Amino acid sequence: MNRYRQSADFLRLVLLAGVLLASAAIRAQDALPSWNDGPAKAEILKFVDEVTAEGTSSFVAPSERIAVFDNDGTLWAEQPMYFQLAFALDRVRAMAKDHPEWKGKQPFDAAIKGDMKALAASGEKGIAALVAASHAGMSTDDFARTVTDWFATARHPKTRQPYSSMVYQPMLELLGYLRSKGFKTFIVSGGGVEFMRAFAEKTYGIPPEQVVGSSGVLKWEMRGNAPVLVKQPKIEFIDDGPGKPVGIQRFIGRRPVFAFGNSDGDQQMLEWTAAAGGGPRFMGLVHHTDAKREWAYDRKSSIGKLDKALDEALARKWTVVDMSTDWNRVFPFDP
Amino acid sequence: MNRYRQSADFLRLVLLAGVLLASAAIRAQDALPSWNDGPAKAEILKFVDEVTAEGTSSFVAPSERIAVFDNDGTLWAEQPMYFQLAFALDRVRAMAKDHPEWKGKQPFDAAIKGDMKALAASGEKGIAALVAASHAGMSTDDFARTVTDWFATARHPKTRQPYSSMVYQPMLELLGYLRSKGFKTFIVSGGGVEFMRAFAEKTYGIPPEQVVGSSGVLKWEMRGNAPVLVKQPKIEFIDDGPGKPVGIQRFIGRRPVFAFGNSDGDQQMLEWTAAAGGGPRFMGLVHHTDAKREWAYDRKSSIGKLDKALDEALARKWTVVDMSTDWNRVFPFDP
């Protein structure tokens, strides 16, 4: 073989490698176009490749491909207040005249006065209390209608967009990508389960039966000849912090192999996922680092505080998404 | 047209009708071979045909094809005692020496003494109490292993079969038939959710996340470096009677269009299904009328009492399965 033939072969090899690399890049770009090439995207793709590789020790059967996502701050924004809090405030204000007993009592007083600092400090427990109390006596059907109506008209104070448009485009792509790879995607959130179900299917493609959340007590009643489930002013379950693994066990009954959160309220969910047997597991956090396109907050935020979970993620080499560098687009309505 | 031609045409018409009827019968027989041709089978087939007929007013989108089944007495047998009670008794007896405080206290005393009458009277609430108490301190993983081990060795006192073989062959066929028609099948049972999940996927093809049941409180704990969920001796939720619509709303978040039960504990689940909007709905009861192949009991039974729900089913023309005439086979191991 002469030197000319040898160098031609070498050139062909280089070209072939280039084509393969380019097609791999295109494939990845197709699945997650709003994710910049970087460690977060690479870790997602690597994990999915591993668990779907049949005949390998890392293979996970489709029935076990359970992926769980926090909602507030992970799938959609949570600033300047949890969106469900904005909904609850609108409800509480509309109902205040019929509830003199709310006066001077927190978190109701803060809600009526619009004291956002006091409200933010009440956290997801405060929201749950507001929702439970302000909707006591309402049937589940009426509640679902009220939420749907609110989404149709309410607008975010900063972007003036409908709240259901304030979802993260890269996470929508990730949900679709995982489902295309045989994963069953679940929401596991501190938000109210019936609030989230009113938009989760349309917005995320996640059906009601795959939404796990906080809940109030329901009571079966006959109204006329028709049975209704009536919301009671009592919290039943808070799906936050250590409540998240409990909610996963109660509602899903399997350990997730993939979990994404953004705050200390997700720490136990990530730990529960990490501890699930051998084989690859994916634990991810969205780090809000983008004051320009979204918000920048972490260790000292009263909403979506990310402190201990960030330390643990860094120590255990979990995936931490830097919103400002990992995402080339944040919201679907971004240019 | 001469008379010969006319009668030939008529003959062809009769033959064609015969072929169509025969092929319909073969089709039905293929889907539900253990169901005799009769009103129950015809009502099931008619309902499924209606909700899957695209372009008609009775059509139900696949995502809304939610079918819920009670477990004890509906998918598997429940005599001479709920199978979970047999499991709990075995556990309580094994643990009794370490729990002197159970002596003289019901339902524990009855469990230890084998007083079946007192136990049966304690109902599904009694079972839940036995399970909750006898497993307090156990992790969910350990509990799942214990249940799996029990199924592998325990035998039914009458048939000497494994309990997981005491399922109704016609209902296995019905579950498969519905799934083949785009339905999502759920268990909604008074039984313990973690007990049922240990066998439901293998036995019924129903995954853990589609099992709704009674539950005890769980607590997140670190044992060494590993997180565990520990069963607490406190009942959290009883998924029976009016609790069934509550469980459906909480876990599934949609109204079922198809519901099957066998006792008064299923009455509200059937009413909730019947009240779900317009369009066809299927409400069914298994009536235990077969003392020879299974058991015969209804209005006066302490287990699986069927009294008020039977009256309502007859009055509202819901489907009532007469086990002795509607099923040509009861258990998979029957000849």
The per-residue DSSP string of B109-144 comes to HHHHHT-HHHHHHHHHHHHHHHHHHHTTT-BHHHHH
Contacts 24+ apart (CB under 8 A), A221-226: A223/A139, A226/B275
Q: What is the pLDDT of residue B230?
A: 96
The residue of chain A nearest to residue B254, with distances taken between CA atoms, is: A208
Mutate which: A183, A193, A211, A220, vs B, most B CBs within 10 A: A220
In which region does residue B137 sit, left (phi positive, over 0), alpha (psi from -120 to 50) or beta (all else)? left
What's the pTM value of the predicted model, to 2 decimals?
Answer: 0.88
pLDDT at B9 over 80: no
Q: Would residue B243 be called left, alpha or beta, if left means φ above 0 and alpha means ψ between -120 and 50 degrees?
A: alpha
Helices and strands (H, E) in chain A, number of each type: 12, 7
Ranking A31-45, A260-274, B106-120, B286-300 by mean pLDDT, the lowest is: B106-120
In chain A, % of residues over pLDDT 90 = 70
Residue B10: pLDDT band (50, 70, 90) is: low
- For the record, the structure tokens of A244 come out as 């998240």
Distance from CA of B298 to the nearest CA of A (A): 25
ipTM of the complex: 0.87
Read off the pLDDT of each residue in A245-273 and give the average, rounded to a whole number: 98
pLDDT at A95: 87
Nearest CA in chain A to B185: A209
Judged against a pLDDT cut of 60, whether residue B317 lies above it is answered with yes
Is residue B192 very low, low, confident or very high in pLDDT (cuts 50, 70, 90)?
very high
**Which chain A residues are closer than 8 Å to B254 by Cβ?**
207-209
Q: Is the peptide bond before B256 cis (omega within 30 degrees of 0)?
A: no
- Cβ contacts of B220 on chain A, cutoff 8 Å: 242-243, 245-246, 268
When pLDDT is averaged across residues B191-198 and rounded to a whole number, the result is 95
pLDDT of B214 > 70? The answer is yes
Q: Would you tell me which residues 167-196 of chain B have a C-beta closer than 8 angstroms to some C-beta of chain A?
A: 184, 193-194
Whether the pLDDT of residue A6 is over 70: the answer is no
Confidence of residue A233 (pLDDT cuts 50, 70, 90): confident
Q: Which helix (H) or strand (E) holds B283?
A: strand B282-287
- pLDDT surpasses 60 at B26: no
End-to-end alpha carbon distance in chain A: 56
Q: Which residue shows structure tokens 């590993």?
A: B226
Q: How far apart are CA A83 and CA B99, in angstroms?
A: 50
CB within 8 Å of chain B, chain A residues 36-65 = 63
Would you give the DSSP letter of residue B183?
P
What pLDDT score was predicted for residue A19? 56
Q: Are B248 and B188 in contact (CB under 8 A)?
A: yes
Instruction: Indicate yes or no: CB of B253 within 8 angstroms of CB of A211.
Output: yes
Which residues of chain A neighbour B218 with C-beta distances below 8 Å?
A: 246, 249-250
* Residue with tokens 């803060």, as numbered in its chain: A110
Does B27 reach chain A within 8 Å, measured CB to CB?
no
pLDDT of residue B129: 75
Mean pLDDT on B300-311: 96
What pLDDT does residue A1 have? Answer: 44
Residue A117: pLDDT above 50? yes
Which residues have CB under 8 Å from B76's CB, separation 6+?
A: B83, B163, B164, B166, B167, B168, B203
Least confident segment among A217-231, B65-79, B174-188: A217-231
> In the predicted model, what is the mean pLDDT of residues A26-55?
90
Q: Residue A176 pLDDT more than 70? A: yes
Where does the pLDDT of residue A102 fall: very low under 50, low under 70, confident under 90, or very high at 90 and above?
confident
The pLDDT tens digits of the residues spanning A63-98 come to: 999 999 999 999 999 999 899 988 988 988 888 888
Least confident of A78-82, B58-62, B122-126: B122-126
- The answer to whether A129 faces chain B, any CB pair under 8 Å, is no
The pLDDT-based confidence of A179 (bands split at 50, 70, 90) is very high
Give the side-chain half-sphere CA count within 13 A for B257.
Answer: 24
The pLDDT of residue B1 is above 50 = no
Contacts with A253 from chain B: Cβ below 8 Å: 193-194, 197, 208-209, 211
Residue pair B92/B112 in contact (Cβ under 8 Å)? The answer is: yes
Percentage of the residues of chain B whose pLDDT score is greater than 70: 91
> Which residues of chain B are within 8 Å of residue A219 when distances are taken between CB atoms?
242, 246
- Chain B window 304-333: which residues touch A at a Cβ cutoff of 8 Å? none
φ/ψ bin of A137: left (φ > 0), alpha (ψ from -120 to 50), beta (otherwise): left
Higher-confidence residue: A278 or A3?
A278
- H/E element, B258: strand B258-261
pLDDT in tens, B129-169: 787 777 788 999 999 999 999 999 999 999 999 999 999 99
Of A121-125, A271-275, B190-194, the least confident: A121-125
Q: How many other C-beta atoms lie within 10 A of the C-beta of residue A250?
A: 24
Q: Which two tokens stand for residue B307?
A: 């009294």
Q: Tell me the pLDDT tens digit for each residue of B230-288.
A: 999 888 999 999 999 999 999 999 999 999 999 999 999 999 999 977 789 999 999 99
